[in-house]
Chains A and B, each alone.
Chain A
Amino acid sequence: MSMFVSAMTTAAVMMGITLGFVTYAIYAERKVLGWMQLRIGPNRVGPWGLLQTVADVLKLLLKEDIVPHKADRTMFLLAPIVAFVPSFTVIAALPFSEHLLLADITIGLLYVLAVSSISTLGIVLGGWASNNKYALLGGMRAAAQMISYEVPLLLSVVPVVMLAGSLRLGDIVQEQAGGFWHWYIVPQFFAFGVFLIASVAELNRTPFDLPEAESELVAGYHVEYSGFRFAFFMLAEYMYVFAMAAMTTVLFLGGWHAPHPALDVVPGVVWFVLKFVGVVFFLFWIRATLPRLRVDQLMGFAWTVLLPIALLDIVVTAIVQSIIR
């Protein structure tokens, strides 16, 4: 029983941390986008606009919870939960430092990728249950896109698993110890590129934000959602930003390891957070820089560019590994 209580407490603490992250990731995103577009960004609520997201969330919570008359009520209510729960479940397996890790799963990498694939169901379901053509189109696009990009995403982590010899995320980080030249971004730069692009596509973020392209689909799959349920979809999206940035850090950027052994005095969590923030900033940066792709470009890119690179990377890694051994 005490184990159950402590598990619930850790989960609650983690929920607090991730909610804090989501709150300030949205603020940071708006600020960064503002600066890149020569605007100031939010600056009214609280000092430097720091409470802007808090105000936005409060507004969302106070809004009327609308279920459209013609919607499929059960599925409409279920969809945001199906989208959100996996996004939070994924976070349990992420190792933030040598000791700061909630669940040490032997198949950690597989777990993260498998569980995160369930969220697609929530998005498709939400789009269908809304009984709205824009929502359905957005849901269909989400299904097509997330399934196409899951293939290169999965294949791009295979070379990392081959090098590390383990699916446990902690072991993968441990293998990258001893300076930045041991990080997998160096030997596996192409895998890193494929992973980064595919993860942006999995996150449905610009330039891959076709499922919620506001200028063509109004808002895509969540157009009929309001208030708290809309907040759930948004929360799931930013939770995945958290999870994907952490995964990039763990798989390719050496996790909690310092760039040089001499810098090991700084605690691992600090390094993890620094790299993590770097990846998150990169996501904001490309959002401000790149325009949205067209549907035909999107699918072609996944199957004819990313997939061959990922496959080739696996073969080359296997050959090099068998030569070295």
Chain B
Amino acid sequence: MALSGDFIAFVVLASAIVFGVLTFLGSGVIVHRVVALALSFLGMAGLFVLLGAELIAGIQVLVYAGAVSIVIVFALMLTPSHTHKPRTPTWRALAALVGCGAFGGIIWAVLLERTTNGTPTDALEFAVRDVGVLLFGRYALALEIVSVLLTVALIGAIVIGQKQKGGAQ
């Protein structure tokens, strides 16, 4: 691949994501972890911009990166105040490594398939208006179902949370 601006941007963003994820997994301080999470979310938004999907990038920042401050608040309120690093057993680390390897292999296969068959420039001509028309026209029912699903999940989380609170008492 030539050393174009896109490529440099990709390398910078990808390393930001990887660094963020590694810090998220490795850091012992929970707030550091959340900030690392924000970094990887922002990196992902940057990748979306590189792919020409500006709308998704904007939503990524608004919904995920912007909401990280709430995650910090929850992290501070719901976790013990002393900092500790959870010790991972060796077998679990090995399993994680195998899982990552398998995931990487699948992604690699998918990418090989795509670059030979598909044209990645399709996304560039996709306007916000088209997204809206498709979302509220053809896929309106799917959208509604997903919203109901999310609401159900939200209520379910509250119910489970309350049960656990009652059980502790």
Interface positions of A (Cβ within 8 A of B): 72, 74-75, 78, 105-107, 110-111, 113-115, 117-118, 120-121, 123-125, 128-129, 140, 143-144, 146-147, 150, 165-167
Contact = CB atoms under 8 A, between A and B. Distances in A.
A110 B72 contact: no
A118 to B, nearest CB: 6
B70 A147 contact: yes
A128 B31 contact: yes
Given A75-B32, A110-B59, A140 B65 contact: no
A110 B62 contact: yes
B62 A124 contact: no
B163 to A, nearest CB: 26
B61 A125 contact: no
Contacts of A107: 54-55, 58, 128
Interface of B: 29, 31-32, 35, 38, 42, 54-55, 58-59, 61-62, 65-70, 72-73, 76, 127-129
Contacts of A146: 69
A121 B35 contact: yes
A125 B33 CA distance: 12
A115 B72 CA distance: 18
A125 B35 contact: yes
B72 A147 contact: no
Contacts of B127: 106
Contacts of A147: 67, 69-70
Contacts of B66: 114, 117-118, 120-121, 150
Contact of A167 (B29, B68, B69, B128): B128
A86 to B, nearest CB: 9
Nearest to B41: A118
B61 A121 contact: no
A74 B32 contact: yes
A20 to B, nearest CB: 28
A143 B32 contact: no
Closest 9 pairs (CB-CB, A-B):
A117-B66, A114-B62, A110-B58, A114-B61, A120-B69, A124-B69, A121-B69, A107-B58, A114-B58
